[in-house]
Amino acid sequence: MSALDGRTALVTGGSRGIGAATALRLAQDGADVALTYVTGEEAALAVVRKIEATGRRGLALRADSADPAEAAGAVDRTVAGLGKLDILVNNVGVGLLGPLDGFTADEVSRTLDVNVRGVFLASQAAASRLGRGGRIVTVGSCMTQRVPGPGGTLYATSKSALIGLTKALARELGERGITANIVHPGPTDTDMNPAHGPHSPAQSAMTALGRYGSADEVAAMVAFLAGDEAGYVTGAEFAVDGGHAA
């Protein structure tokens, strides 16, 4: 029997990168998995095919987390399509970096809408669906622990808000046997931040291990927190950052 047999999960932003790796890892551990995307339909369907190749059910949902109705609605659509919800992984996010005085009001609103409001609304909707043993795992950022240089004000602000949300969810939902935790990835090899890209030497040097992490390494931590072995873990932060914050 696999660790997540009989469970159903929703991974927001699951068409690529950490989200795609997480969706596939949860399926490999036995869960049926829904994932959301905005523009990457083909990539999302490719992940679904990989999920189905494990023998589990997969579901791709177009949902923009900046839209309040769609952020919450993805939870209901998961239940409608897969029958229930046991695990929510709040992975979706946007990462705008730049000088403090360079951000437009629209950029600020979009970042906070996706990274904060969308996560809150998805968690709120999931809380009404999750039963005892339910899991909420949110993907934060190493920049909530250490901002190594200028340019990260907006992104760090948005991701730091998720720490407070996670701890409050743990208190709010603990009596129902539902846990909430947050994972902080460090520099991670994805198409948005490739390990051999122009910024990789500097980012690798900021870690104690001197390298980028893989999306699979982050997904492994998410999968652990989604399983029964993490049943006494809640309201906690986990750095998967190669020692970025050390």
Q: How far apart, in whole angstroms, are the C-alpha atoms of residue 212 and residue 155?
A: 19
Quick check: is 97 in a domain? yes
Going from the C-alpha of 21 to that of each of 16, 27, 48, 89, the distances in angstroms are 7, 10, 12, 12
Q: Model pTM? A: 0.95
Quick check: is 83 in a domain? yes
Give how many domains the chain has, as a whole number: 1
Quick check: is 1 in a domain? no
Q: What is the pLDDT of residues 194-238, one digit of tens each?
A: 888 888 899 999 999 999 999 999 999 999 999 999 999 999 999
Quick check: is 230 in a domain? yes
Q: What is the 3-state secondary structure (H, E, C) of 54-75?
A: CCCCEEEEECCCCCHHHHHHHH
Q: What is the CATH number of the domain that holds 160?
A: 3.40.50.720
Quick check: is 20 in a domain? yes
Judge whether 4 and 29 are in contact, CB under 8 Å. Answer: yes
- Cross-strand pairs, 136: 88, 180
Round the average pLDDT of the chain to a whole number and report it: 95
Q: How far apart, in whole angstroms, are the C-alpha atoms of residue 240 and residue 142?
A: 8
Is it the case that residue 71 has pLDDT exceeding 90?
yes
Quick check: is 158 in a domain? yes
Question: Which structural domain range is residue 83 located in?
Answer: 8-240
Catalytic status, residue 212? no
Please give the pLDDT value at position 226. 98
Please give the pLDDT value at position 94. 87
Catalytic residue among 37, 155, 212, 232: 155
- Give the confidence band of 1 by pLDDT, cuts at 50, 70, 90: low
Q: What is the pLDDT of residues 80-127, one digit of tens each?
A: 999 999 999 999 998 878 888 888 999 999 999 999 999 999 999 999
Q: How far apart, in whole angstroms, are the C-alpha atoms of residue 74 and residue 43?
A: 18
Q: How far apart, in whole angstroms, are the C-alpha atoms of residue 154 and residue 118?
A: 16
Please give the pLDDT value at position 197. 86
Quick check: is 2 in a domain? no
Quick check: is 205 in a domain? yes
7 token code pair: 């469970």
Going from the C-alpha of 22 to that of each of 109, 142, 196, 217, the distances in angstroms are 27, 18, 22, 9
